Structure 1
Amino acid sequence: MPDVQDLQGVLDEWAREAGVPGAVVGVLHDGRESVLTTGVSSVDTGLAVDAGTLFMIGSTSKTFAAAAVLALVEDGVLDLDKPVVEYLPGLKLADPVARKTVTLRHLLTHSAGFLGDVDLDTGWGDDALARAVEQFGDLPQIFPPGEVFSYCNAGFQLVGRVVEVVSGEPFEDVVRARLLEPLSMTESYYLPWDVLTRRHAVGHVDQAVAHTVGLTRADSASGGLWSTAADQLKWARFFLTGESAGEPPLSAAARDLMRSPQRKAALRFEEVGLSWLHTTHGPARLVRHGGNVSNLQLSEFVTLPEENFAVTVLTNSAAGAELGRKVVDWCLEQLVGVPPVASLPPRPTPSLGEYSGRYETGQLAFEVTDRDGALWAQLVADVEDFPSPPPFEAVFVADDAIAPAADTRAPTARFLRNEHGEVTSVEFGGRTARRRATVTG
């Protein structure tokens, strides 16, 4: 079986082929940690990525927000199933029923139902989260609370605000004191003035430096942490084995609760715990996260608990998505011995008319069209400076589920029907999108 150091050559090759300026990979296997690097942190400076280079981990930050909540639950000051409004009496939501009933468990499982992809720039002061949450009354309630999973960044902003209010400290300070310091994660930071004085990667678009970080302070809880591969492996070790440099920030029961499935998720995920996401790789059941910071820095964080295995991939361009998938697959198959995922055979094409249309959720949409009897799909991002990926030909690989014709190893979208059998929504990218319909707002 190959050794982890055999990954270096293919990492260099894949990064070059994909056009990823720089990347770092951390692997935990057989109790040993390995960190491999490739490329540069910035094409402008040419500074090589090293093991200490900070990258934005994006939405893996949500697992830190969830852990902060669980720490406060263990303190007895939070309850996962108590309405959030009891902690934030001034909370405004568009739907009065949601305002009365949304809980932390809803928020941590992406099932609160209100619009999740929002861009609220409220500055870099300690009041950034508070000011963002003050605008939540403008977010449309797309689904009733608890009805469906639909990936919700805004929900984790609300989580962060609850943490601030009950602790009386800025969210970032709570995470540092309750999580980062006990785990000796000394190279993980939220605020740009902490990052800029250290080696860090910058995001790229089309092999050119993007002169923005892509997030604001209001996004700290949902995606704002910068970290190194070594610190990410400390996070992995804690959840896999309970290892902690100081007093463990969570009990074993709380760690298990965070990872245990809470409900069915939306494709490309299968189930969700309290922030942690579940997928499969053949027979292997993965507990994972990962992130995408405005298509500038993309990451993967994957664990296989029964093998005490973890891999993290941090990259500084949109092409890092492809690179991350390849690295994760290589590690699972070559190091752990998980069989490669087989392609699913295409099924006969049903009537395309009932699927064609535009499915929307905020600034994201999934467009499905019939091109001379072939099904084509495209994710459309109606966001400035956020290019939409190209359309792809799709084939059916299961009932109401499609995959790209060029890669049918796993379905990437699933259509949902109402009680009358009509296609009314679609799951894609972890989102659930309807045909231009909302409950309120």
Structure 2
Amino acid sequence: MLCMTDNALHAVEAQIREQAAAHCESSNIPGYVAGVYRAGEQIIVAHGTANIATGAPMLHDTGFLFGSVTKVLTTTLVLQQVDRGLLDLDTPVTKYLPELVLTAPGAADKILVRHLISHTNGIDADLFFPDAKGRDALRTYVSGLASNCGTLFEPGEQLSYSNGGMIVAGRLLEVVTGMPFPDLLQRDIYAPVGMKNSSTSAEQAILRSTAIGHFLDPETMAAKPTGMFMLPDTWGPAGSTPIGTIADLLAFGHTHLAGGVSPSGTRVLSAASTALMQQVSHDMATPNVPPMGLGWVRYPFGDTTVLAMSGASPGGVSILCVVPEHDLVFTAFGNNPGAIMLQDQMLQWLLSAHLGVQIPTLVTEVEQDVDLAPYVGTYRSNQLRIDVTVVDGQLEERTTYEPADESQERIFTEFAGGMTSAPPQRYVPIRPGLFAPAGYPLEAFDGYLRLLLVSFHDVRDGQARFRNGGGRLTRRI
């Protein structure tokens, strides 16, 4: 293991500052903030503008929406209740939460608590956006599942990134603790971890420096502020409402490095539960879907495992990475979705240049003679349709958003910055069942962007049952 000295941390700070400035300028990203913790020392770098409507600068302590990084916080809350004896991971959720009902009769009864936080629950609700606020928001979400959402697969059968599972977990926490989710997050995560500048509402965030998201104008390619700061309260446990700073996320990451003990020495989670979150709970055995722990996604970089979660918010993207083998935490936020490319570059640079990690090439070659017929067809999940055809010896995918109602369409359209459709995307075969977007160099998939690869699963009678893109499953219809 290499030692990152003070001089090395200075070099990290200088490199992050240089990379951020260059990438933000070339990609029209208004602002960026990142931090690194290593072996008791940390640095934070801020660049650019937090809000171009006001000209407010991005500062070291500027707050931002955590997005789906929240899912690791929610999972930590669940494991706390396991430590306290209030929950059992292998008990059906409906024992604690009888109000959980899906459109498929009896389907909810098969879902165990662990399925919610390992993304193996099968709840087909990834774009279900009920618009509700306040203390009953999660109750409203769960009650809406009964008439709006079914299942993609049997619990434990597959892995599919699940907003719905985490939101149900949030409501489960409310029921077993008797506390609203935001209050529980404040009491049991923010306070003991030392996340002093974290909150769960726009009303709280406006009292201090807070970044907003931005999208690129499709005509001018200039950044423009988002028209929606955050998703509805119903998505709180999946990532809509928590807001904090880089220092706060470094403290949370450090807590998971230290076996559940916060930087101040407070026991936040048992060592056993902290370790359990980091262990493989499900593995799809395909390069584009890393093995899943509980809450954490386990990205393999050669022999080194990076525990990670990224988070999208309206016009912004965050990331939290914990590398236990090297006592390192990396976290960042950029206020344009294109910042995910910069975060991927920084993570790989930290691993290779400063930790000496050998990052192998994930995709070394493509195959020419792959039978494409098993993958052709139409695949669906909640409000999303993907039509797969063969064009010029490649797969071509057309994705269509099919809103359930006006409210769903309004929320998703604002979340996506007005862009709800995309041109057809061609894919070249890497091997049977695995495809890369055409035109990308193969080395682009060595890091976090391996999620751009598409895989097909469970081929029966010459037809694949599932398509996986970005960690999310759609099912053949």
TM-score normalised by the shorter chain: which range applies?
over 0.9
Mapping of residues 231-246 of structure 1, within 5 Å = 231-242=248-259, 243-244=261-262, 245-246=264-265
**How many angstroms apart in 2 are the aligned matches of 1:384 and 1:122?**
14
Conserved? CA contact 2:130–2:144, under 8 Å: no
The alignment's C-alpha RMSD in Å is 2.0
Alignment partner, residue 376 of structure 1 = 396
What letter is aligned with 2:379? Y
Change (3 A) 1:363 1:252: same
TM-score w.r.t. the length of structure 1 is 0.93
What letter is aligned with 2:289? F
**How many angstroms apart in 1 are the aligned matches of 2:229 and 2:54?**
17
CA deviations over 1:177-217 (Å, ceiling 9, x no partner):
11110111111111111111111111111110112124111
Q: Is residue 435 of structure 2 the alignment partner of residue 402 of structure 1?
A: yes
**How many angstroms apart in 2 are the aligned matches of 1:69 and 1:35?**
30
Cα deviation, residue 359, structure 1:
2.0
Change (3 A) 1:418 1:352: closer
Change (3 A) 1:422 1:375: closer
Q: Is residue 431 of structure 2 the alignment partner of residue 431 of structure 1?
A: no
Alignment partner, residue 170 of structure 1 = 180
Q: Is residue 212 of structure 2 the alignment partner of residue 202 of structure 1?
A: yes
Conserved? CA contact 1:425–1:433, under 8 Å: yes
What letter is aligned with 2:311? G
Conserved? CA contact 1:11–1:327, under 8 Å: no
Mapping of residues 20-419 of structure 1, within 5 Å = 20-138=29-147, 139-206=149-216, 207-224=223-240, 225-242=242-259, 243-244=261-262, 245-265=264-284, 268-294=288-314, 296-342=315-361, 343-377=363-397, 380-382=400-402, 383-385=412-414, 386=416, 387=419, 388-405=421-438, 406-409=440-443, 410=445, 412-419=453-460
Conserved? CA contact 1:123–1:216, under 8 Å: yes
**Aligned-partner SS, 1:114:** coil
**Aligned-partner SS, 2:56:** coil
* Bigger mean CA deviation after superposition, 328-337 or 262-271: 262-271
**Aligned-partner SS, 2:192:** coil
> Which runs of no fewer than 5 residues in structure 1 stay unpaired?
437-441
CA deviations over 1:324-373 (Å, ceiling 9, x no partner):
21222222222222234425211114233332333221133444332322
What letter is aligned with 2:345? K
Cα deviation, residue 267, structure 1:
6.2
**Aligned-partner SS, 2:171:** helix
Change (3 A) 1:341 1:391: farther
How many aligned residue pairs are there?
435
Cα deviation, residue 396, structure 1:
1.9
**How many angstroms apart in 1 are the aligned matches of 2:430 and 2:380?**
23
Conserved? CA contact 1:311–1:328, under 8 Å: yes
**How many angstroms apart in 2 are the aligned matches of 1:32 and 1:247?**
19
**How many angstroms apart in 1 are the aligned matches of 2:348 and 2:442?**
15
**How many angstroms apart in 2 are the aligned matches of 1:75 and 1:417?**
39
Change (3 A) 1:100 1:121: closer
Cα deviation, residue 389, structure 1:
4.9
**Aligned-partner SS, 2:467:** strand
Conserved? CA contact 1:106–1:112, under 8 Å: yes
Conserved? CA contact 1:184–1:246, under 8 Å: no
**Aligned-partner SS, 1:213:** coil
What letter is aligned with 1:351? D
Q: Is residue 10 of structure 2 the alignment partner of residue 10 of structure 1?
A: no
**How many angstroms apart in 2 are the aligned matches of 1:394 and 1:190?**
40
Cα deviation, residue 420, structure 1:
2.9
**Aligned-partner SS, 1:290:** strand
**How many angstroms apart in 1 are the aligned matches of 2:289 and 2:210?**
30
Change (3 A) 1:177 1:275: same
What letter is aligned with 2:237? A
> Which runs of no fewer than 5 residues in structure 2 stay unpaired?
217-222, 403-411
* Bigger mean CA deviation after superposition, 303-312 or 92-101: 92-101
**How many angstroms apart in 2 are the aligned matches of 1:303 and 1:269?**
18
TM-score w.r.t. the length of structure 2 is 0.86
What letter is aligned with 1:313? A
What letter is aligned with 1:271? P
CA deviations over 1:60-105 (Å, ceiling 9, x no partner):
1011111111111111111111111111223322223322221111
